[in-house]
Amino acid sequence: MISLQKLNGATAGRDWFSGPVNHVSDGASAYGAGRDLYYNVVSSESLPVQTAPVREEHVQRIRGCLVVTESQITLTSLLADEPLLLLRGSPNTGRTTTAIAALLDVAKSCHRLMIKEDPGQVSAAHLERGAGYFLLADESPWVSRLEEVADQLSAVAVRSECRIIILARPSCDLPHRVVDHVQPVADDVFRKAFIHRLGDPNAWDAHQLDKYDIAVRLSGCQPVEAIHLAAWLADGVQQNRDIAELFKEQPLFTHKRFREHLDEVPTRSGRCFLVSSAVLHGLPEPVVSAAALDLSRQIHEESQEDDETDDTPIWERLENWLSYSGISMVSSDRRGEGRRVQLRDELVPLLLPMIWEELPGVRQHLYTWLHRLGESPDEYVRIKVAHAVGLLTTCDFDQVEKEFLDKWSRDSKIMPKQLAAWALEAAASDPGIRDRVDALLSRWAYLGPYDRRTTAAIAYGSQTAIRNLDKVLTSFRQITRSTKGYWLCDAVARSTADIYAMDTARPIVAELARWARGDAFGGQLSAALALVRLGALLHDGARPALPDHCDQADLIALWSRSLELSLSTDEMAGRKSSLASQLWQLFADWMKEWDRRPSLRPVLEGVFSTAGTGSLQQRRTYQLYLLVWRQKRVVSTPLFHYLIRILKDG
């Protein structure tokens, strides 16, 4: 399988991170991103209530870059009397920074409060006396009973002499305790951040930034983007680079150049090549050009446009299409492919969303064309299509979900499901919509029909899932409890193997052992299928060897129950299935390592000991395999007798 990361330029979304990483209680991390903070909880043992302090260096950065807004003034004033307030506004508009600044005005320190499920579990023991806390509630299920939750938390805050600010979307309400967030002006944020970054109060005038029309350039930008731009420009100034040239390179200003280019390209085919390049960049030019002409014909047929008047010979038209400065041709590193269409790195996450924003009339044509491309036999093309759909989620998540994700996830064939999984992997790379991706996958995993649960299982196999491993494993558990379908269990097993790594090995094997010990057939089957994939990792390589990074009791249970399943009459996992033969062959491979890998011995002994306490059929099956292995010299004669004694003693 080809992942998104294997394709050139296959990173989705905008990454505006520029702040430090803060360690959070119980295994989480907090990342500063301009005027907003992002917290990724990666603990495999996520606690019901966690807190994360805003560190002093981040506090200093906030104070140095802060643009005081009306909402901050109101918050500070009300917090003098109110233990809890609701700050409502859209994500990425600076509301987190506003909340932190207000809390720092009235409390001795500031922390993030993280609640896994039930806010009623928060007690005074979780809060530091006299501190301030902010709580993100955008996707929380308890938002529907916000007033009840606010009363509970308010009572806890009073007992702890704390202050709490709940951050929620504009649609939320909390009578008499709500403040509407006012987004700071982007150019004001830019000015403060630029001066703070350089540590010089005269930096703005010294570099004559007034002449660059900063307010115009930042029109429509969010505060986090202004912070990122200011840091980037200040770094360039410190490297003695020319400011005018820096502005030309900055992707935030690409919109202006893009609009100008659209006015310069009068032909439908030229604009279609721009669209095709935005989706298929990195692929051979004939593939990109053919797709562009296909889109051009489609638009002509569906809109009944008159044929464009363009007498330029076909072989020269490509030069006209390449007039946009961000697109170029590069030689392929593979013989026989000719040249490839290349985008500048900073354009990769921007060009397609710009096309979507600037050309509303082409959107439905774009959707139809992407669906057709998604059926291509070329896997590289399909991955590019999925990546493009992931980018479009930043423009209109609901529409993309309806147009692509819902349809792909409900399809009975595996290829559309893989497209949906790839698209969600790309979408999750954007911190602004990551929560929506997580919520959608959870809904599919817990409430979806068979095909959607299979899609969720595939999607959870991406490396982006590791940021909340506990939640992913819980979703897998829910899926396996409610199915006996082989392909759905196989999808769970594949994804579990895909996210198996040095830092996830122990919790993953513990979860597999839990499924194997359980009564749900889907869990037992998924555990056995995953064992076949992971059990072959005996030698050092890119991923850790299974026996070296897991609890021995879990490995014994996983092996014992999986081999027991292979003795059943079930067609998918029983005696006559291919899974059964794979399990016993893999177990024989482990037996061969008895002398070379002493760490395996307690596990193998434990499996034979467990079998000795099992049914007569189990004991006889193990004895039969031992006889065969001795004959084939998989085990030595002394080892044969030793294991036979363990079987008899139980």
pLDDT on residue 368: 96
Provide the edge-to-edge strand list for the sheet that holds 132-136: 49-53, 110-115, 132-136, 163-168, 84-88, 178-180
pLDDT band at residue 3 using 50, 70 and 90 as cut-offs: very low
**What's at 462, amino acid-wise?**
S
The answer to which of 9-23, 339-353, 436-450 has the lowest mean pLDDT is: 9-23
Of 113, 181, 185, 179, which is closest to residue 152 (Cα–Cα)?
A: 113
Amino acid symbol at 466: I
If one compares 212 and 411, the residue with the highest pLDDT of the two is 411
pLDDT at 530 (0 to 100): 94
Query: Which of 72-76, 108-112, 462-466, 491-495 is predicted least confidently?
Result: 462-466
Greatest CA separation for the chain: 90
- What does 48-74 look like in DSSP terms, one character per residue? SEEEEE--HHHHHHHHHH----HHHHH
Which of 305-314, 547-556, 615-624 shows the lowest mean pLDDT across its residues? Answer: 305-314
Q: Is 307 exposed, middle or buried (0-12, 13-18, 19+ CB in 10 A)?
A: exposed
Which segment, 257-261, 296-300, 512-516, is predicted with the most confidence on average? 512-516
b/e per residue 315-340 (b: at least 16 CB within 10 A): eebeebbbebebbeeeeeeeeeeeeb
CATH 3.40.50 fits 47-180, yes or no: yes
Residue ranges covered by each domain of the chain? 47-180, 186-249, 258-364, 489-650
- Can you tell me the distance from the alpha carbon of 356 to that of 393, in angstroms, rounded to the nearest whole number? 11
| Of the candidate ranges 367-376, 478-487, 612-621, the one whose mean pLDDT is the lowest | 478-487
468, β-bridge pairs: none
Which carries the bigger pLDDT value, residue 530 or residue 431?
A: 530
413 burial via Cβ count (<10 Å: 0-12, 13-18, 19+): exposed
Q: What pLDDT score does 83 carry?
A: 95
Question: pLDDT per residue over 270-289, tens digit each?
Answer: 888 889 999 999 999 999 99
CA–chain centroid gap for 91, Å, is 17
| Residue 92 Ramachandran class (φ > 0 left, ψ -120 to 50 alpha, else beta) | left
**Parallel, antiparallel or unpaired: strands 28-33 and 36-41:** antiparallel
Q: In angstroms, rounded to a whole number, what is the distance separating the alpha carbons of residues 595 and 217?
A: 69
More confident residue, 548 or 298: 298
Angstrom distance (rounded) from CA 251 to CA 100: 29
Average pLDDT over residues 320-331: 72
Spatial separation of the C-alpha atoms in residues 165 and 131, rounded to whole Å: 12
CA atoms of 473 and 496, how far apart (whole Å) = 8
**What does the alpha-carbon distance between residue 29 and residue 43 come to, in Å, rounded to a whole number?**
10
What is the rounded distance in angstroms from the CA atom of residue 611 to the CA atom of residue 263? 76
- Mark out the alpha helices in 411-551 (DSSP H runs): 414-427, 434-447, 450-459, 469-481, 486-498, 505-517, 521-534
**Mean pLDDT of all residues in 580-595:** 93
In this predicted structure, the answer to whether residue 533 has a pLDDT above a threshold of 50 is yes
- From the CB of residue 404, how many other CB atoms can be counted at a distance below 10 Å? 25
Q: Are 492 and 527 in contact (CB under 8 A)?
A: no
Tokens of 282: 């990195």
Which tokens sit at 307? Answer: 């044929």
Percent of the chain residues topping a pLDDT of 90: 44
pLDDT class for 41, splitting at 50, 70, 90?
Answer: very low
Q: How many CB atoms lie within 10 A of CB 5?
A: 10
- The burial class, CB within 10 Å (0-12 / 13-18 / 19+), for 632 is exposed
Residue 320 has a pLDDT of: 64
Q: How confident is the model at residue 364 (pLDDT cuts 50, 70, 90)?
A: very high
Record: fold of 489-650: 1.25.40
| Confidence (pLDDT) at 463 | 61
pLDDT of residue 607: 95
DSSP bridge pairs for 329? 341
Query: 513 vs 5, which has greater pLDDT?
Result: 513
In tens, the pLDDT along 129-168 reads 999 999 998 878 888 888 999 999 999 999 999 999 999 9
For the stretch 51-109, pLDDT in tens is 889 988 889 888 888 899 999 999 999 999 999 999 999 887 889 999 999 999 999 99
| pLDDT attached to residue 306 | 53
Say whether 489-650 and 47-180 share the same fold: no
Question: Can you give the pLDDT at residue 502?
Answer: 84
Confidence of residue 315 (pLDDT cuts 50, 70, 90): very low
Tokens of 277: 């390049």
CA 303, distance to chain mean position in Å, is: 38
Q: How confident is the model at residue 486 (pLDDT cuts 50, 70, 90)?
A: confident
More confident residue, 257 or 141: 141
Question: What CA–CA distance (Å, rounded) separates 134 from 166?
Answer: 6
Place of tokens 């903070």: 37
Four-residue CA torsion sign, 336, 338, 344, 350? negative
Q: 340 forms bridges with which residues in the sheet?
A: 284, 330
β-pair type (327-331, 339-343):
antiparallel
Whether 606 has a pLDDT exceeding 90, the answer reads yes
How confident is residue 541, by pLDDT bands cut at 50, 70 and 90? low
- Sorted by sequence, the CB contacts under 8 Å of residue 319 that are 6+ apart come out as none
Average pLDDT value for residue range 552-575: 90
